Amino acid sequence: MERRLGWSNIRCKRVAGLLVLLGLLLASSAQADGPVLSVVSPYSLEETVANLKRSIAAGNFRFVRESPWHGGLLRTRRGAAHTLYFCNFTLAQRVIAQDRRFSQFLPCRMVVSEHRGRVLIQAVDPLYVSRMLRSQRTRADCARVRDAYLSLMEEATL
Amino acid sequence: MSRWLWLWVVGVGMVHAGQVGVIESRCDAPLPEAMMWLQKVVDRQGYQVMQVQPVGEALAKRGYEGEDFKVLFIGRAADFAEVEASYPSLMPFLPLSLTLAEEGAGTRLTAMPPVANGASPPLSIKRLMTRWRADLTRMARDFNTCP
Protein backbone atom coordinates (compact mmCIF):
# COMPACT_ATOMS: atom_id res chain seq x y z
CA MET A 1 0.00 0.00 0.00
CA GLU A 2 1.43 3.30 -0.98
CA ARG A 3 1.96 5.57 1.95
CA ARG A 4 1.03 9.12 1.25
CA LEU A 5 2.71 11.80 3.30
CA GLY A 6 0.63 14.85 4.11
CA TRP A 7 2.01 18.37 3.59
CA SER A 8 2.16 18.99 7.36
CA ASN A 9 4.28 15.84 7.91
CA ILE A 10 6.87 16.77 5.25
CA ARG A 11 7.01 20.36 6.46
CA CYS A 12 7.42 19.22 10.02
CA LYS A 13 10.36 16.98 9.15
CA ARG A 14 12.05 19.69 7.10
CA VAL A 15 11.74 22.21 9.90
CA ALA A 16 13.02 19.69 12.42
CA GLY A 17 15.92 18.82 10.13
CA LEU A 18 16.86 22.48 9.72
CA LEU A 19 16.73 22.96 13.46
CA VAL A 20 19.05 19.99 13.97
CA LEU A 21 21.46 21.39 11.41
CA LEU A 22 21.36 24.82 13.01
CA GLY A 23 21.99 23.34 16.44
CA LEU A 24 24.97 21.37 15.19
CA LEU A 25 26.39 24.38 13.33
CA LEU A 26 26.10 26.50 16.45
CA ALA A 27 27.76 23.79 18.47
CA SER A 28 30.65 23.43 16.06
CA SER A 29 31.26 27.19 15.91
CA ALA A 30 31.28 27.40 19.69
CA GLN A 31 33.90 24.66 19.82
CA ALA A 32 35.97 25.96 16.90
CA ASP A 33 38.11 28.38 18.95
CA GLY A 34 39.14 26.38 22.01
CA PRO A 35 40.28 27.88 25.31
CA VAL A 36 43.96 27.08 24.83
CA LEU A 37 46.53 28.53 22.41
CA SER A 38 49.15 25.93 21.54
CA VAL A 39 52.29 25.95 19.39
CA VAL A 40 54.73 23.09 18.75
CA SER A 41 58.41 23.95 19.17
CA PRO A 42 61.17 22.42 17.05
CA TYR A 43 63.62 22.92 19.93
CA SER A 44 64.25 21.08 23.15
CA LEU A 45 62.27 22.04 26.25
CA GLU A 46 65.22 23.93 27.76
CA GLU A 47 65.92 25.79 24.50
CA THR A 48 62.24 26.67 24.12
CA VAL A 49 62.10 28.09 27.65
CA ALA A 50 65.20 30.20 26.94
CA ASN A 51 63.77 31.37 23.60
CA LEU A 52 60.47 32.30 25.19
CA LYS A 53 62.20 34.32 27.90
CA ARG A 54 64.06 36.23 25.19
CA SER A 55 60.81 36.83 23.28
CA ILE A 56 59.14 38.14 26.44
CA ALA A 57 62.07 40.48 27.14
CA ALA A 58 62.04 41.74 23.56
CA GLY A 59 58.27 42.12 23.51
CA ASN A 60 56.16 44.60 25.40
CA PHE A 61 56.14 42.49 28.57
CA ARG A 62 57.96 42.41 31.87
CA PHE A 63 59.20 39.01 32.98
CA VAL A 64 57.85 38.17 36.47
CA ARG A 65 59.10 34.69 37.32
CA GLU A 66 59.64 31.14 36.14
CA SER A 67 58.74 28.02 38.10
CA PRO A 68 58.21 24.29 37.56
CA TRP A 69 54.64 23.91 36.33
CA HIS A 70 53.72 21.70 39.28
CA GLY A 71 55.28 24.19 41.70
CA GLY A 72 57.36 21.52 43.38
CA LEU A 73 54.41 19.26 44.25
CA LEU A 74 55.78 16.48 42.03
CA ARG A 75 59.24 14.97 42.33
CA THR A 76 61.57 17.03 40.18
CA ARG A 77 62.83 15.24 37.13
CA ARG A 78 64.52 16.15 33.85
CA GLY A 79 62.19 17.55 31.25
CA ALA A 80 59.64 18.80 33.77
CA ALA A 81 57.21 21.38 32.42
CA HIS A 82 57.84 25.04 33.22
CA THR A 83 55.52 27.99 33.64
CA LEU A 84 56.70 31.47 32.69
CA TYR A 85 54.87 34.40 34.27
CA PHE A 86 55.02 37.87 32.72
CA CYS A 87 53.00 41.06 32.46
CA ASN A 88 52.23 44.15 30.39
CA PHE A 89 51.17 46.36 33.27
CA THR A 90 49.49 49.03 31.15
CA LEU A 91 47.30 46.48 29.38
CA ALA A 92 46.65 44.62 32.64
CA GLN A 93 45.41 47.77 34.35
CA ARG A 94 43.11 48.58 31.46
CA VAL A 95 41.57 45.11 31.30
CA ILE A 96 40.97 44.93 35.06
CA ALA A 97 39.42 48.39 35.04
CA GLN A 98 37.03 47.12 32.36
CA ASP A 99 36.23 43.83 34.09
CA ARG A 100 37.77 42.94 37.41
CA ARG A 101 37.09 39.21 36.90
CA PHE A 102 40.18 39.21 34.68
CA SER A 103 42.39 39.65 37.72
CA GLN A 104 41.95 35.86 37.83
CA PHE A 105 44.34 35.59 34.86
CA LEU A 106 47.14 37.79 36.06
CA PRO A 107 50.01 37.66 35.70
CA CYS A 108 50.10 36.39 32.11
CA ARG A 109 51.52 32.87 31.90
CA MET A 110 52.64 30.26 29.41
CA VAL A 111 53.45 26.61 30.00
CA VAL A 112 56.30 24.87 28.17
CA SER A 113 56.04 21.09 28.32
CA GLU A 114 57.09 17.96 26.48
CA HIS A 115 54.76 15.07 25.56
CA ARG A 116 55.63 12.02 23.46
CA GLY A 117 58.67 13.77 22.01
CA ARG A 118 56.85 17.04 21.18
CA VAL A 119 57.61 20.29 22.97
CA LEU A 120 54.57 22.57 23.34
CA ILE A 121 54.04 26.14 24.41
CA GLN A 122 50.50 26.58 25.73
CA ALA A 123 48.50 29.46 27.17
CA VAL A 124 44.87 30.18 28.04
CA ASP A 125 43.38 32.25 25.21
CA PRO A 126 42.31 35.61 26.71
CA LEU A 127 39.91 36.25 23.82
CA TYR A 128 38.17 32.95 24.53
CA VAL A 129 37.82 33.96 28.18
CA SER A 130 36.40 37.34 27.18
CA ARG A 131 33.78 35.61 25.01
CA MET A 132 33.00 32.99 27.62
CA LEU A 133 32.47 35.63 30.29
CA ARG A 134 30.44 37.68 27.81
CA SER A 135 32.73 40.60 28.61
CA GLN A 136 32.20 42.89 25.63
CA ARG A 137 34.25 45.72 27.13
CA THR A 138 37.42 43.65 27.28
CA ARG A 139 37.05 42.16 23.81
CA ALA A 140 39.40 44.52 21.96
CA ASP A 141 42.16 44.38 24.58
CA CYS A 142 41.86 40.63 24.96
CA ALA A 143 42.23 40.32 21.20
CA ARG A 144 45.43 42.38 21.47
CA VAL A 145 46.77 40.17 24.25
CA ARG A 146 45.91 37.08 22.21
CA ASP A 147 47.83 38.45 19.22
CA ALA A 148 50.76 39.29 21.49
CA TYR A 149 50.76 35.74 22.92
CA LEU A 150 50.81 34.24 19.44
CA SER A 151 53.70 36.54 18.46
CA LEU A 152 55.69 35.48 21.51
CA MET A 153 55.02 31.82 20.78
CA GLU A 154 55.96 32.18 17.13
CA GLU A 155 59.15 34.08 17.88
CA ALA A 156 60.20 31.50 20.42
CA THR A 157 59.75 28.68 17.91
CA LEU A 158 61.25 30.23 14.76
CA MET B 1 8.97 14.28 15.09
CA SER B 2 9.99 13.66 18.72
CA ARG B 3 13.20 11.97 17.53
CA TRP B 4 14.14 15.02 15.46
CA LEU B 5 13.28 17.33 18.31
CA TRP B 6 15.50 15.29 20.60
CA LEU B 7 18.40 15.59 18.14
CA TRP B 8 17.89 19.34 18.02
CA VAL B 9 18.02 19.56 21.79
CA VAL B 10 21.28 17.58 21.79
CA GLY B 11 22.71 19.87 19.13
CA VAL B 12 21.86 23.00 21.06
CA GLY B 13 23.05 21.38 24.25
CA MET B 14 26.45 20.95 22.63
CA VAL B 15 26.63 24.72 22.29
CA HIS B 16 26.71 24.94 26.04
CA ALA B 17 29.01 22.00 26.55
CA GLY B 18 32.10 23.13 28.46
CA GLN B 19 30.67 26.60 28.99
CA VAL B 20 31.39 27.33 32.64
CA GLY B 21 31.36 30.57 34.50
CA VAL B 22 33.19 32.34 37.26
CA ILE B 23 32.60 31.42 40.90
CA GLU B 24 32.29 34.44 43.17
CA SER B 25 31.87 34.96 46.87
CA ARG B 26 32.34 37.65 49.51
CA CYS B 27 33.66 37.94 53.02
CA ASP B 28 33.21 40.92 55.37
CA ALA B 29 36.82 40.87 56.58
CA PRO B 30 39.52 43.10 55.04
CA LEU B 31 41.93 41.58 52.52
CA PRO B 32 44.78 40.47 54.86
CA GLU B 33 42.43 38.65 57.25
CA ALA B 34 40.37 37.27 54.38
CA MET B 35 43.55 35.84 52.84
CA MET B 36 44.45 34.06 56.08
CA TRP B 37 40.92 32.65 56.31
CA LEU B 38 41.02 31.49 52.68
CA GLN B 39 44.28 29.65 53.23
CA LYS B 40 42.62 27.69 56.05
CA VAL B 41 39.65 26.96 53.83
CA VAL B 42 41.94 25.75 51.05
CA ASP B 43 43.86 23.53 53.45
CA ARG B 44 40.61 21.96 54.73
CA GLN B 45 39.70 21.00 51.16
CA GLY B 46 42.98 19.11 50.83
CA TYR B 47 44.83 21.55 48.59
CA GLN B 48 48.25 23.08 49.08
CA VAL B 49 48.87 26.78 48.80
CA MET B 50 51.63 27.07 46.22
CA GLN B 51 52.07 30.82 45.85
CA VAL B 52 50.49 34.13 46.77
CA GLN B 53 51.02 36.66 43.99
CA PRO B 54 50.56 40.30 45.09
CA VAL B 55 49.45 41.49 41.66
CA GLY B 56 47.67 44.58 42.99
CA GLU B 57 50.86 45.82 44.68
CA ALA B 58 52.88 45.35 41.50
CA LEU B 59 50.30 47.34 39.55
CA ALA B 60 50.11 50.03 42.27
CA LYS B 61 53.87 50.60 41.96
CA ARG B 62 53.16 51.47 38.36
CA GLY B 63 50.35 53.87 39.05
CA TYR B 64 47.34 51.53 39.25
CA GLU B 65 44.69 53.22 41.37
CA GLY B 66 42.09 50.48 41.75
CA GLU B 67 41.47 48.18 44.71
CA ASP B 68 44.24 45.91 45.94
CA PHE B 69 44.07 42.24 44.96
CA LYS B 70 46.12 39.08 45.34
CA VAL B 71 46.09 35.80 43.47
CA LEU B 72 46.38 32.56 45.44
CA PHE B 73 47.68 29.55 43.50
CA ILE B 74 46.64 26.14 44.88
CA GLY B 75 47.05 22.55 43.84
CA ARG B 76 47.23 18.85 44.64
CA ALA B 77 50.10 16.67 43.49
CA ALA B 78 47.78 13.93 42.18
CA ASP B 79 45.92 16.41 39.98
CA PHE B 80 49.11 17.63 38.33
CA ALA B 81 50.20 14.06 37.68
CA GLU B 82 46.84 13.13 36.17
CA VAL B 83 46.65 16.15 33.87
CA GLU B 84 50.22 15.80 32.65
CA ALA B 85 49.73 12.12 31.91
CA SER B 86 46.21 12.16 30.47
CA TYR B 87 45.27 15.59 29.16
CA PRO B 88 48.13 18.10 28.68
CA SER B 89 45.70 20.65 27.16
CA LEU B 90 44.58 21.48 30.69
CA MET B 91 48.12 22.37 31.81
CA PRO B 92 47.72 26.14 31.22
CA PHE B 93 44.85 26.11 33.73
CA LEU B 94 46.96 24.73 36.55
CA PRO B 95 47.71 25.58 39.23
CA LEU B 96 44.16 26.57 40.11
CA SER B 97 43.91 30.18 41.19
CA LEU B 98 41.65 32.20 43.46
CA THR B 99 41.69 35.98 43.38
CA LEU B 100 40.95 38.09 46.42
CA ALA B 101 40.13 41.75 45.82
CA GLU B 102 39.25 44.53 48.21
CA GLU B 103 35.59 45.46 48.00
CA GLY B 104 34.66 48.26 50.34
CA ALA B 105 35.38 47.08 53.87
CA GLY B 106 35.27 43.44 52.79
CA THR B 107 36.89 41.14 50.26
CA ARG B 108 35.59 39.47 47.11
CA LEU B 109 36.77 36.06 45.91
CA THR B 110 36.79 35.03 42.26
CA ALA B 111 37.70 31.66 40.78
CA MET B 112 37.25 30.03 37.39
CA PRO B 113 37.34 26.25 36.99
CA PRO B 114 39.41 24.93 34.05
CA VAL B 115 37.71 24.47 30.68
CA ALA B 116 38.32 21.43 28.47
CA ASN B 117 40.05 22.10 25.15
CA GLY B 118 37.91 19.75 23.11
CA ALA B 119 34.66 17.86 23.16
CA SER B 120 35.77 14.59 24.76
CA PRO B 121 38.40 14.58 27.46
CA PRO B 122 39.01 11.16 29.09
CA LEU B 123 36.59 10.14 31.83
CA SER B 124 39.25 10.60 34.53
CA ILE B 125 39.69 14.21 33.42
CA LYS B 126 35.93 14.86 33.29
CA ARG B 127 35.72 13.61 36.89
CA LEU B 128 38.65 15.82 37.85
CA MET B 129 37.03 18.86 36.30
CA THR B 130 33.74 18.12 38.09
CA ARG B 131 35.63 17.80 41.36
CA TRP B 132 37.50 21.07 40.83
CA ARG B 133 34.25 22.89 40.23
CA ALA B 134 32.71 21.34 43.34
CA ASP B 135 35.80 22.08 45.45
CA LEU B 136 36.05 25.70 44.29
CA THR B 137 32.34 26.16 44.91
CA ARG B 138 32.73 24.76 48.43
CA MET B 139 35.72 27.02 49.09
CA ALA B 140 33.71 30.02 47.94
CA ARG B 141 30.84 29.03 50.24
CA ASP B 142 33.17 28.53 53.22
CA PHE B 143 34.97 31.79 52.41
CA ASN B 144 31.63 33.55 52.82
CA THR B 145 31.51 32.45 56.50
CA CYS B 146 34.79 34.14 57.45
CA PRO B 147 34.90 35.26 61.12
Residue by residue, what is the 3-state secondary structure of chain A? Answer: CCCCCCHHHHHHHHHHHHHHHHHHHHHHHHHHCCCEEEEEECCCHHHHHHHHHHHHHHCCCEEEEEEECCCCCCCCCCCCCEEEEEECHHHHHHHHHHCHHHHHHCCEEEEEEEECCEEEEEEECHHHHHHHCCCHHHHHHHHHHHHHHHHHHHHHCC
Nearest CA-CA partner of B102 in B137, B55, B63, B61? B55
Closest-CA distance, B41 to chain A, in angstroms, reads: 18
Residue B67 confidence (pLDDT): 81
> pLDDT below 70 — which residues of chain A?
1-8, 16-17, 19-33, 76-79
Residue B7 confidence (pLDDT): 52
Q: Give bridge partners of residue B103 from the DSSP assignment.
A: B106
ipTM above 0.85, yes or no: no
- The interface residues of chain A toward chain B in range 81-110, judged by CB-CB distance below 8 A, are 81, 85, 87, 89-90, 92-93, 96-97, 100-101, 103-104, 106-107, 109-110
Residue A26 confidence (pLDDT): 47
pTM reported for the whole predicted model: 0.81
Range in A1-10, B19-28, B76-85, B136-145 with the lowest mean pLDDT: A1-10
Residue B37 confidence (pLDDT): 97
Closest-CA distance, A71 to chain B, in angstroms, reads: 6
- The interface residues of chain A toward chain B in range 19-38, judged by CB-CB distance below 8 A, are 19-20, 22-24, 26-27, 30-31, 34-36, 38
Residue length, chain A? 158
Residue B60 confidence (pLDDT): 86
* Nearest chain B residue to A124, by CA: B92
* Nearest chain B residue to A17, by CA: B4
Task: Inform me whether the C-beta atom of residue A152 falls under 8 Å from chain B C-beta atoms.
Answer: no
Range in A8-12, A45-49, B93-97, B101-105 with the lowest mean pLDDT: A8-12
Task: Inform me whether the C-beta atom of residue B69 falls under 8 Å from chain A C-beta atoms.
Answer: yes
* Nearest chain A residue to B111, by CA: A104
Residue A12 confidence (pLDDT): 72
